[in-house]
């Protein structure tokens, strides 16, 4: 996890979530006077070999901790990517449900974006590669180094919400 830093007045703070059963990325982005700034990013990695229910608890606890520490105003989450196998889709759906519930329990409006919308908001091209998303997230947020892949995807989700400002919640 990157440390929390002092970044000045925040107009809007969004928590982005990239749901995954093995790795769930998160990223908190502030809209500040001079653009966008990363407050915190990281990855939640449940212990391998534990039951699904324990993994989901770990993910929920991790998201709740980020919400408590950063006090975002909204949660944005990536919609399910339909090209995966059915077992992966079901597990991803479980993780999405836990993340959505954590946001709702935290009193946050929850928004979802498709992978195409996210890539278009960050890279300008809906079929961009994962590495391109990482590089653009680094450039947009002026990060000193590339964030880990799943954290970069979560930051991209938060950036997408700040760019598109959907109003219809889940």
Chain segment 36-80, per-residue pLDDT in tens: 999 999 999 999 899 999 999 999 999 999 999 999 999 999 998
* Start-to-end C-alpha separation, the chain: 27
Rounded to whole angstroms, how far apart are CA atoms 147 and 158? 14
Longest dimension (CA), the chain: 45
3-state secondary structure of 70: helix
- Tokens read off for 25: 């990325």
Residues with catalytic annotation? 18, 78, 150
Q: In the beta sheet, which residues pair with residue 43?
A: 25
Rounded to whole angstroms, how far apart are CA atoms 82 and 60? 23
Please name which of 26, 30, 35 lies closest in space to residue 6, comparing C-alpha atoms. 30
Contact 1, 24 (CB under 8 A): no
Return the pLDDT at 126: 81
Does pLDDT of 6 surpass 50? no
- For 84-120, the pLDDT digits (tens) are 688 888 999 999 999 999 999 999 999 999 999 999 9
Q: Provide the whole-model pTM.
A: 0.91
| Residue labelled with tokens 């990223």 | 27
* Environment class of 16 (CB within 10 Å of its CB; exposed 0-12, middle 13-18, buried 19+): buried
Number of C-alpha atoms within 13 angstroms, CB side, residue 80? Answer: 18
* Environment class of 5 (CB within 10 Å of its CB; exposed 0-12, middle 13-18, buried 19+): exposed
- In terms of phi and psi (left: phi > 0; alpha: psi -120 to 50; beta: otherwise), the region of 8 is left
């Amino acid at each position: 996890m990157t440390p929390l830093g002092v970044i000045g007045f925040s107009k809007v703070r969004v928590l982005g979530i990239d749901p995954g059963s093995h790795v769930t990325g998160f990223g908190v982005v502030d809209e500040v006077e001079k653009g966008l700034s990363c407050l915190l990013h990281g990855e939640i990695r449940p212990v391998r070999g534990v039951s699904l229910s324990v993994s989901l608890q770990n993910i929920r606890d991790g998201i709740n901790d980020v919400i408590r520490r950063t006090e975002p105003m909204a949660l944005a989450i990536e919609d399910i990517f339909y090209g995966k196998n059915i077992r992966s889709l079901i597990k991803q759906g479980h993780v999405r449900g836990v993340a959505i519930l954590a946001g709702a329990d935290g009193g946050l409006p929850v928004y979802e974006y498709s992978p195409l919308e996210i890539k278009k908001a960050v890279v300008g091209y809906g079929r961009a590669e994962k590495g391109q998303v990482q590089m653009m997230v680094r450039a947009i947020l002026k990060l000193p180094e590339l964030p880990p892949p799943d954290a970069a995807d979560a930051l991209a989700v938060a950036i997408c919400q700040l760019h598109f400002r959907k109003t219809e919640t889940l």
